[in-house]
């Protein structure tokens, strides 16, 4: 996949929908009845990159204060949705240690790698930071796919889609945009902004809700990658 082309197409298509009022408002983000949970292997950006993202979000908040903004603790890249969130999933349904052992075996074959957060893209329901990755990330993903599919562990890898990007969702639409034109202008201003490059030395396996909110996330294990 050519990531730049993928992000560009996603941006053009989605911004056109947002400009026409055809964006999607998330009706579940404030719901107490949302019981979608799963387990995910995630990457966390470093503090400097998160700081750049929060400066961007602070500027957007002055225009659209009522949207949903990710806090530093919630910002992540999904390396792999091991069990995609579904209604009613509970940790009691699995043996967590089995998953830790499988992932640890895979990661022992791989080293740390870098990700660059540069530019903004969008979907009809959210705004995302564009992540550009090295071959190592997708090699880890491919290795995990093979390992889990040869196991009898519960998993739903690639059932929704085959993950190939390294984006991070940072804004979700929770209500109608009140300053649509100014919002789009600001997104365009940050379209190619460099938020930073960071080395991925650790990965987290987490039990999480759909939005990866800190109050619901339970860290199951932290894996360290060998440094080249």
Retrieve residue 51's tokens: 């700081």
> Exposed e or buried b for every residue in 116-141, given b needs 16+ CB within 10 A?
bbbbbbbbbbbbbbbbbbeebbbebb
Helices (H) and strands (E) in the chain, counts: 5, 9
Q: How far is the C-alpha of 224 from the C-alpha of 227, rounded, in Å?
A: 9
Retrieve residue 218's tokens: 């339970």
What is the structure's pLDDT at 107? 96
Q: How far is the C-alpha of 75 from the C-alpha of 204, rounded, in Å?
A: 13
- Of the pLDDT bands very low, low, confident and very high (cuts 50, 70, 90), residue 160 is low
Within 13 A of 51's CA, how many CA atoms are on the CB side?
A: 6
SS3 14: helix
**pTM for the full predicted model:** 0.93
C-alpha dihedral sign at 59, 65, 67, 68 = positive
What is the structure's pLDDT at 11? 97
The CATH class given to the 3-25+35-224 domain equals alpha beta
Given a cut of 60, whether residue 204 has pLDDT beyond it is: yes
């Amino acid at each position: 996949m050519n990531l730049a082309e993928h992000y560009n197409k996603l941006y053009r298509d989605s911004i056109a929908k947002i400009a026409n009022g055809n964006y999607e408002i998330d009706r579940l983000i404030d719901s107490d009845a949302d019981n979608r949970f799963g387990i995910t292997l995630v990457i966390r950006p470093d503090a400097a990159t998160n700081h750049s993202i929060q400066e961007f979000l602070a500027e957007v908040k002055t225009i659209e204060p009522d949207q949903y903004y990710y806090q530093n603790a919630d910002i992540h890249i999904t390396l792999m949705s091991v069990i995609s969130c579904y209604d009613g999933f509970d940790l009691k349904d699995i043996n967590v240690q089995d998953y830790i052992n499988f992932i640890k075996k895979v990661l022992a074959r791989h080293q740390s790698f870098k990700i660059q957060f540069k530019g903004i893209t969008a979907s009809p329901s959210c705004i995302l930071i564009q992540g550009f990755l090295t071959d190592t990330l997708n090699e880890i993903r491919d290795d995990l796919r093979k390992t889990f599919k040869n196991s009898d562990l519960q998993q739903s890898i690639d059932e929704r889609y085959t993950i190939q990007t390294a984006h991070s969702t940072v804004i979700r639409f929770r209500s109608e945009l009140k300053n649509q034109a100014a919002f789009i202008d600001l997104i365009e201003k940050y379209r190619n902004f460099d938020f930073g490059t960071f080395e991925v030395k650790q990965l987290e396996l987490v039990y999480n809700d759909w939005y990866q909110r800190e109050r619901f996330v339970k860290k199951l294990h932290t894996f360290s990658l060998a440094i080249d």
